[in-house]
Amino acid sequence: MSEDKIACLFREMSEEQQELVHLLAERKTLNAESKKLNSQFRSNLQQSKQFVNDLQSKRLIGWESLMYCNQISL
């Protein structure tokens, strides 16, 4: 192989390595965001379950009213 071809291959490898590093950093960021959203979702779900349990135990409103409130908030 000529030196030009070898130099060209090294440049291509360097560019691909930089792209790989960028993609790995992006994956790390997306994984962190995903974990945060998952945690928030689980927390909100738990709060919703607790809210429904509290309402049922206190019999403040019936299921029909609860469903109506949920439709309004959507």
38: left (phi over 0), alpha (psi -120 to 50) or beta: alpha
Task: Check residue 63 and give its pLDDT.
Answer: 61
- Looking at residue 38, its amino acid is N
pLDDT in tens, 9-37: 999 999 999 999 999 999 999 999 999 99
Nearest 10 degrees: CA dihedral of 52, 54, 57, 62?
Answer: -40
Predicted confidence band of residue 59 (pLDDT cuts 50, 70, 90) = low
CA atoms within 13 A on the CB side of 17: 6
Question: Do 36 and 30 meet the contact criterion of CB atoms below 8 Å apart?
Answer: no
Helix (H, G, I), strand (E, B) or coil at 43: helix
Q: Looking at residues 34-49, what average pLDDT do you find?
A: 95
Task: Check residue 55 and give its pLDDT.
Answer: 78
Please tell me whether the overall predicted TM-score, pTM, comes out greater than 0.95 for this model: no
Domain spans, the chain: 3-73
Task: Check residue 52 and give its pLDDT.
Answer: 84
